[in-house]
Structure 1
C-alpha cells in the first residue's frame, strides 16, 4: 500500500510568489480595459479630439503667446492641456471600472480571494498610467506630424517624466473619489461636472496672469494647475524649471494612494 504524503494537505496555505497577484491584477486590468470597447474608446478619443480640433482651430486664431518671458507657439502652449485632458479621462475610466466590478458581482469574487489591496491599487494605477502613456504617444506623433511641434530631446524626456507622475497622482485621486462614493449616479454627476471645472479653472488655455482674480485663487488649490504647469514648463524650459509644480504632485500621489488604500479596505470589509 502506498503511503500518503501530507506535506501539502488539501486546503493548506502554500507559499505564493509575492509578485503573482500583482502580475495577475495588471493582466486583468489590461484585459478589462481592452475588451471593454466603451472604456477603451473613452480613454483614447478625447486626446485626438482636443488635439486635432481645438489645437488646430485655436492655433489659427492665436498664433503665439507670451509665457514667462518666452514666446511660444499656441500649439506648444496647448499641448499640456491636451495631455492633461487625457490624464483626467483615463483616471475617470479607472473610477468607473470600480463600479462596473461591483454591479457585475466581480468585486465580491475578487475579495473572496486573498488579494492584497496594495496590489489591486498598484495594478489599477499601473494600467491607468499605461493608458495615459499610450495616449501621449498618439498625441506626440500627431503633434509632430500634423501640428509640427518641434521640441528638443531633453524637453520630450522631461515631459514624459512629468506626465507619468501626473497620471499616478490623478489615478489615485479618482480612485479615492470612487471608493468614497457608493452611488454610481452620484459618482457620474460629480466626476463629469468636476472634470471641465478642474480643467478650465486652471491655466490650461491661458496663462495664470490672464485669468480673473477669482479663478486665480481657485487655480491655487486646483491640482490640475500643477499638472498643466509642470508639463508646460517641461516643454518650454525643461525639468529644471518644472520641478516646483512637479514636487506638489510627487507629494500628492502617495497621499492619495494611502487614502485610496484605506478606503478600499473599508469598502471590501462591507461586502
Structure 2
C-alpha cells in the first residue's frame, strides 16, 4: 500500500513596498473622495482668507511684529494656513469612524497586513491630504495678495507648514482613536478648531493678547505653528527655529501616541 505524504508551502508574503503603497492609496482615496470632509476642511480657510482678510485689512491697517511693520494680509497669512492645517487634520479622525461604522476595519484585519505598514500608510495619507489642502489655500493667497518675501523665507515657511501638518494630523488621529463616540469627536473637533486658533496669536501679536489668553497660548501648539511660519516669512530660519523645534517635539509625541493607541485598538477588533 502506497504511503501518503503531504507537503505544506507557506503563502508568499507581499512585498513591503507594494503593501505600503496599497495601504497609502486606500487611505488617500478614503479621505480624498469624501467631498463633505474636504469642504469642511477648506471652507473655514477660504472664508478667513477672502472675507476676514479683506474686511479687516482696512480697519486694522499695519501691524508691528517684532520690529517689522507688516500689512494685515501678510500678518494674517500664517493664521489662515494654520487654520487650514487644523481643519483638514480633523478629516483623518473622521475616516477612522467611517471605517469602523461600515465594518471595513474588521474586514481589513482579516488580511495578513502588518500593523506598522497600516499605521505608516494612514499617517502618510493624512499628512499628504492636509498639505494638499493647505497648499491650495496658499496658492489662492499668493494669487490674491502679492507677498514680497525672498525664496529662502518661503522655504523655511514651507518646512514649518510640513511640521505643523505632521503634528496636527497626529493630534487629531490620536483623539479619534482615544474617543470612541463619533458624535463626541465630531463636536470636539469642530469646536477645537476655533479654540486652538483663537487662543493663539492669530490676529494680533502675543503681547497684545489678554493675560489669560497669553498663558493659554504658551501651551497651545497652534501658537508655534503660527509663530514659526510668521517668523520664517519675516526673518527666515534664524528667528523661526525655536518654534520649529517645538513643532518637531509635538509631531513626535502625537504620532507616537496615535500609533500606540491605533495598534492597541486593532488588537480588540
Q: TM class by shorter-chain length?
A: over 0.9
Matched, 1:231 2:221: no
Contact 2:85 2:165 in 1 (8 A): yes
Within a 5 Å distance, the mapping from 1:1-271 to structure 2 comes to 9=9, 12-271=10-269
Deviation at 1:195, TM superposition (A): 1.7
Contact 1:117 1:261 in 2 (8 A): no
Alpha carbons of 1:7 and 1:85: their partners in 2 closer, same or farther (altered >3 Å)? farther
Contact 2:38 2:88 in 1 (8 A): no
Structure 1 Cα separation of the partners of residues 149 and 52 of structure 2: 20
**CA-to-aligned-CA distance 1:171-226 (integer Å, 9 cap, x gap):** 00111110001111111222222221111001111110000111111111111111
Structure 1 Cα separation of the partners of residues 71 and 235 of structure 2: 14
Query: Structure 1: any 5+ residue segments left out of the alignment?
Result: 1-5
Alpha carbons of 1:7 and 1:57: their partners in 2 closer, same or farther (altered >3 Å)? farther
Structure 2 Cα separation of the partners of residues 15 and 145 of structure 1: 49
Instruction: Give aligned pairs, total.
Output: 264
Query: Structure 2: any 5+ residue segments left out of the alignment?
Result: 1-5
Contact 2:85 2:134 in 1 (8 A): no
Alpha carbons of 1:220 and 1:249: their partners in 2 closer, same or farther (altered >3 Å)? same
Structure 1 Cα separation of the partners of residues 114 and 104 of structure 2: 16
Q: TM-score by structure 2 length?
A: 0.92
Report the secondary structure of 2:49's partner residue: helix
Contact 2:199 2:217 in 1 (8 A): yes
Structure 1 Cα separation of the partners of residues 189 and 104 of structure 2: 23
Deviation at 1:7, TM superposition (A): 8.7
Structure 2 Cα separation of the partners of residues 127 and 213 of structure 1: 39
Alpha carbons of 1:7 and 1:161: their partners in 2 closer, same or farther (altered >3 Å)? farther
